[in-house]
Amino acid sequence: MLRTGALLSLILGVVTGALAQSAEPSRLRFEAARIKLAETSANPLPVAPSAPNRLRIPSMTLKQLIYTAYGNGGYNTAMPVIGGPDWINKTAFYVEGVAAGPSTPRQLRSMLQTLLEDRFALKISNETETGNVLGLVLDRSDGTLGPKVRKWDGTCPAVMPALMFPAARRPLQKVGDKFIVPPESDADDPEISYCPTGYRIGGIRADGVTMATVASLLSLPPARALLGRVAEDQTGLTGRYTLDLDFVFPPPADAPSLSTAIKEQWGLRLVSSKGTWKVFRVESAQPPTTD
């Protein structure tokens, strides 16, 4: 029979262990998931739920999946992913995950992180670096924006435009002949666009976006090749906007610069600045057992 002191110690140990276990944050997981080699003809799609509880990615390498899971929906090229075996840059996979119920894009990305760590045995570390960036700032002292920028009106186009480098976005609901997004909530992710956003033929289309997404657009390969650095939002603006930019990528030799087009059409300016970004290092990874 346990003495009183021993019994008390046992009870305290059980309680302490239970408290420690409950204090550990539970990982978000898909209820069901499928991974297989991608079809050779499949193209990567924007990371947006195909249903409120489902994430479907037809073709991405593990490196692209890491951008998707850890880097604001895969739209932040200011986040280098380094290290790892060669195959993480070459072999494309089909990934599909189904959550137990409706989930936000941020929650689905968290579930994707867990899936990558479980199925690819992915071990990853990250640190923050500081360096030179292009700060996206207001050009006009009165704060007015350019003729190709307006406050987002709450709707998306009925006809989805053809876009390259499409941004991750929230799922849409059709009401009459218009597409709308669900009501704004605390679960909204400022890095996720509300309407189709990306590079179009002859320019850029950004719809229902924050300026953080605009800076990410300017950090993608077509613009970055001309600007030389990644861009970082330093406008101080917090609303959502619709922006259109007429600009040919790559531009003819006699065309105005991209910086000039941004200034004239958007009323924004790019200035040399210091910024911070995450660097993710792949410590180890293994090819998954495909379904």
Q: What are 244-289's pLDDT values in tens digits?
A: 999 999 999 999 999 999 999 999 999 999 988 888 999 999 999 7
The torsion defined by the Cα of 71, 72, 75 and 78, in degrees rounded to 10, comes to -50
**279 touches 115 (CB < 8 A):** no
Lookup: tokens for 54: 């489902």
pLDDT confidence tier of residue 173, bands split at 50, 70 and 90: low
Q: Identity (one letter) of the amino acid at 176?
A: G
What's the pLDDT at 210? 94
pTM of the model: 0.71
What's the pLDDT at 220? 87
What's the pLDDT at 26? 74
What's the pLDDT at 263? 98
**Mean pLDDT score of the chain, rounded to an integer?**
83
Question: Around Cβ 65, how many Cβ atoms within 10 Å?
Answer: 26
Lookup: tokens for 140: 């006009």
End-to-end CA distance of the chain: 54
Q: Which DSSP helix (H) or strand (E) runs through 221?
A: helix 221-227
Counting Cα atoms < 13 Å in the Cβ hemisphere of 258 gives 22
Three-point CA angle 218, 151, 77, nearest 5° = 20
What's the pLDDT at 5? 42
- Decide: helix, strand or coil at residue 275: strand
Q: How far apart are CA 289 and CA 151, in angstroms?
A: 47
Higher pLDDT, 199 or 67: 199
Lookup: tokens for 79: 């986040």
Q: Stretch 196-204: mean pLDDT, rounded?
A: 93
6-29: pLDDT as tens digits: 333 333 333 334 333 333 457 899
Distances 133 to 167, 176, 224, 233 between C-alpha atoms, Å: 21, 43, 11, 10
Strands (E), the chain: 32-37, 54-61, 81-83, 92-98, 123-138, 149-151, 155-156, 173-175, 178-180, 198-200, 203-209, 231-233, 241-246, 268-284
Residue 80 has pLDDT above 90, yes or no: no
